[in-house]
Amino acid sequence: MKVMIAGGSGLIGSALTRSLIDDGHEVWLLSRNTSKVRPEKGVNALEWDGRTVEHQWLEVFGQMDVVVNLAGATIGQWPWSQAHKKEILQSRVDAGRTISKAFEKSSPRPPVLLQASGIGYYGPRDSEPMHEESPAGSDFLSTVAINWESATRVVDTMGVRRVILRTGLVLACEAGVLPLMALPVRLFAGGPIGSGKQGISWIHIRDQVRAIRFLMENDRARGAFNLCAPNPASNADFMSALARALHRPYWLPAPAFAIRLALGEMSDLLLSGQFAIPQRLINLGFVFDFESAYDAFTDLY
Ligand SMILES: NC(=O)c1ccc[n+]([C@@H]2O[C@H](COP(=O)([O-])OP(=O)(O)OC[C@H]3O[C@@H](n4cnc5c(N)ncnc54)[C@H](OP(=O)(O)O)[C@@H]3O)[C@@H](O)[C@H]2O)c1
């Protein structure tokens, strides 16, 4: 298979690339800085700016079996200034529109597009489970997800099988949010964050890659899928499982007001959440390797 991954140099893209080339597939990475892509057999790096369709990558675009769009400015960077919030949204809308234009311009067309999105689509929720048909929220991250998903909607009209990857918190040791959450625990200061009741819809990086590949290869998969383990945890249960896995105490609550003071609006990432269920993946027969957060942590650490 020939797979193009826009924004493929990051956490998910790198793990997906490794899995694909290990199985003998060929990968083209679209990056704004190809020098950071390690040269490797089966991996081709092409420069793009995330905003313009260029001849250099458009030429190979039409030969792809699958296109995966993961590009977007990081959400986990502090502070969420107005300028950075604008970049979080605009970079995703621009990348989506650019990929859509490439589909429009190419003949033949790649038959499949996997489009990244996030569980933040549903907005902050109490304990009710969020399935793929649950309504969107109205906070900043929901607005980002709605516009992000819409940016590639037009390819649905071109006969392309489009899959939306509504991803939860990806658990990996090397990057993402987990190392930051694990830091106070490692320093013997672990405990619930805020009320501890907010949901965390998490997924082990290996299941994330397995789910993406499952959706890539399954012709019945189309539309939005929650990519998160079937057992989302409350923040208190998640942090307590992390402390147990790291053999550290779980005792020191991090008060919401202090986190709000330190992080501003970005504190929503930690203080609110949702309990998302990967209903459509389960319906298609996908089996998770990691169903409990504790098992995921003991595997990772
Ligand atoms: N990791 C998670 O827990 C998680 C959860 C939910 C959703 N997601 C979403 O899934 C996607 C992939 O996640 P990830 O963790 O692999 O993210 P990541 O490590 O931050 O990688 C995203 C990639 O996007 C590209 N990028 C960054 N800023 C950009 C900009 N302004 N314009 C265009 N491209 C830009 C970068 O590639 P180059 O620098 O090479 O261009 C980067 O490697 C992201 O869009 C993320 O929001 C991730």
Residue-wise pLDDT tens digits, 170-190 = 999 988 889 989 999 999 999
Nearest-CA neighbor of 111 among 160, 55, 166, 146? 160
State whether the beta carbon of 208 lies less than 6 angstroms from ligand 1. Answer: no
* pLDDT, average across residues 76-104: 95
Phi, psi at residue 73, to the nearest 5°? -60, 145
pLDDT band, residue 141 (cuts 50/70/90): very high
In a domain, 57, yes or no: yes
Tokens linked to 151: 């940016």
pLDDT band, residue 76 (cuts 50/70/90): confident
- Coil/strand/helix, residue 119: helix
In a domain, 113, yes or no: yes
Q: How far apart are CA 191 and CA 185, in angstroms?
A: 7
Phi, psi at residue 116, to the nearest 5°? -65, 150
pTM of the prediction? 0.97
In a domain, 133, yes or no: yes
Nearest-CA neighbor of 150 among 104, 115, 120, 119? 115
254 alpha-carbon distance from chain centroid: 26
* pLDDT, average across residues 62-84: 94
For ligand 1, mutation pick of 9, 12, 89, 146 (most atoms within 8 Å of CB): 12
pLDDT band, residue 252 (cuts 50/70/90): confident
Tokens linked to 210: 């397995």
In a domain, 236, yes or no: no
In a domain, 253, yes or no: no
State whether the beta carbon of 164 lies less than 6 angstroms from ligand 1. Answer: no
Q: Provide the β-strand partners of residue 29.
A: 5, 45
Distance 126 CA to ligand 1 centre (A): 27
* pLDDT, average across residues 94-115: 97
State whether the beta carbon of 170 lies less than 6 angstroms from ligand 1. Answer: yes
Answer whether residue 293 shows pLDDT above 90: yes
In a domain, 151, yes or no: yes
State whether the beta carbon of 74 lies less than 6 angstroms from ligand 1. Answer: yes
Give the H/E segment covering residue 165.
strand 161-167
Give the H/E segment covering residue 204.
strand 202-204
In a domain, 190, yes or no: no
**Interval 204-237: pLDDT, tens:** 999 999 999 999 999 999 999 999 999 999 999 9
Per the structure, the complete domain to which residue 18 belongs is given by 2-171+202-229+277-288
**Interval 81-93: pLDDT, tens:** 999 999 999 999 9
pLDDT value at residue 77: 82
Domain count along the chain: 1
CATH number at residue 129: 3.40.50.720
In a domain, 186, yes or no: no
